[in-house]
Amino acid sequence: MAKVYIKGVGMTKFDYTQKFWWQFAYEAALEALENAKMKISDIDAILLSAISSAAGPESEHQVHKASMLSDVFKTNVPIVEVPAVCAGGGVAFWLASHLISNFKNILVLSGERLVESITEVTTDRILAASERILEQPEGLIFPVQKAMVWQQYMQKYGGTMDDLALIAFKNHQNAVSNPKAYFYQRPVTLEEIKNSPVVASPFRLYDCSLSINGGAAVIISQEKTDVELAGSGFATDYLLAFLRKDMTHYLATQIATKKAYEGAKIKPEDVDVAEVHDAFTSEEIIAYEDLGFALIGKGPELIRKGLTNIDGKIPINPSGGLKAKGHPISVTGLAQIYEITNQLRGRCGQRQVKDAKIGLTHNLGGNGGTVVVYIFRKV
């Protein structure tokens, strides 16, 4: 595989502004171009991470998004749309990283107007990512499904709801100093977290990430820069969770992780900072284990000991994560790369992880049916 370098990154603030998905994507792309000191005419191919959130008859009623972007950017280069639910950003970047040997500069971007006025529509769209014959009719929307997984985890390994509260607290604290996070300068106390209303037992409000709007963009290049892609892994898994051997962990994450570490020729203990897919607080603990930062069943110890705080042994989600930065589905994978790139460049101000040289991103789609893991290295 050809060498892949990060040339520029861009991201909008995540909030509830009402714009079209492509307006968010466009703003993020402009920032990435500026960051890369490039013009759109320097871009040879475009990958768009997109769930169909805005395509349905009940919403923007517009497919053929590649052609829309040809309009937006006034370009005729190859443009490919890639939907992979919550892992869309990661998968679009994965394709770009493989295309780079034939293209000089590739723009990977996404924008998502996830939260519109009609909340049922958003919920219904997200629901369509879980299995339709056996799961959807049982009301297995993601909070419920992930709550069941966590109940099983607690029984099996002894994790507690207090552990989850600590995850939420850490990520909210991190977000306070991230100007692009929804919870920027809006601290949340441990008490508020523990007393928040139950959403899907045992999950409380603060165990769930934020459905939000926003955009992110990454420009990769053949040309050497200050950040390189050192390793990557991509794996899929069955849509139906009960077909899997182990419901409390993600085989796809484990396969992708192994491949990424092998590619980068490093071990988990070499990672200085990671952005992991904390769509629910429990998922961050499971990620600790699947990514090899803790043994299976030992993830809670990391948060109890503060090892994943910004000044800890392995800081996780310094951006605030999906939890407190926000989770605009298809954008998330790229927003993770935005954060890690800035961490490796030492541009994260108060939330900067000291001497970060190796960073990891972990982007998980649906019920772990699509997972992408990247390792970036400061050059």
- Residue 247 lies near a copy of itself (rule: CB under 8 A): no
174 contacts 320 by C-beta, under 8 angstroms: yes
- Residue 70 lies near a copy of itself (rule: CB under 8 A): yes
Catalytic site includes residue 208? no
- Residue 210 lies near a copy of itself (rule: CB under 8 A): no
Out of 15, 60, 116, 301, the residue judged to bind a copy of itself by CB under 8 A: 60
- Show contacts with a copy of itself in window 217-246 (CB under 8 A): 234-240, 243
Catalytic site includes residue 327? yes
Q: Is 23 helix (H, G, I), strand (E, B) or coil?
A: helix
Q: Is 65 helix (H, G, I), strand (E, B) or coil?
A: helix
281 contacts 317 by C-beta, under 8 angstroms: no
- Residue 333 lies near a copy of itself (rule: CB under 8 A): no
- Residue 84 lies near a copy of itself (rule: CB under 8 A): yes
* Beta carbon of residue 95, minimum distance to a copy of itself (angstroms, whole number): 6
Residue 84 phi/psi, 5-degree rounding, is: -150, 50
User: Closest Cα to residue 268, out of 318, 334, 320, 313?
Assistant: 313
Through-space distance between the first and last CA atoms of the chain, rounded to whole angstroms: 18
- Residue 312 lies near a copy of itself (rule: CB under 8 A): no
* Beta carbon of residue 100, minimum distance to a copy of itself (angstroms, whole number): 10
How far is Cα 185 from Cα 213, in angstroms, rounded to an integer? 19
How far is Cα 221 from Cα 215, in angstroms, rounded to an integer? 20
How many residues line the site for a copy of itself (CB under 8 A)? 62
Out of 79, 106, 208, 217, the residue judged to bind a copy of itself by CB under 8 A: 79
* Beta carbon of residue 327, minimum distance to a copy of itself (angstroms, whole number): 16
Q: Who's near 113: CB < 8 A, 6+ residues apart?
A: 18, 19, 20, 21, 24, 53, 54, 60, 213
Out of 42, 124, 270, 301, the residue judged to bind a copy of itself by CB under 8 A: 124
Is the bond preceding residue 202 a cis peptide, omega within 30 degrees?
yes
- Show contacts with a copy of itself in window 125-154 (CB under 8 A): 125, 127-132, 136
- Helix H or strand E segment including 177: none
- Residue 331 lies near a copy of itself (rule: CB under 8 A): no
- Residue 263 lies near a copy of itself (rule: CB under 8 A): no
88 contacts 129 by C-beta, under 8 angstroms: no
Out of 19, 78, 151, 157, the residue judged to bind a copy of itself by CB under 8 A: 78
**Residues found near a copy of itself in the complex (CB under 8 A):** 1, 51-52, 55-58, 60-64, 66-71, 74-85, 91, 94-95, 98-99, 101-102, 124-125, 127-132, 136, 234-240, 243, 251-252, 255, 365-367, 369-370
Residues forming the active site: 86, 327
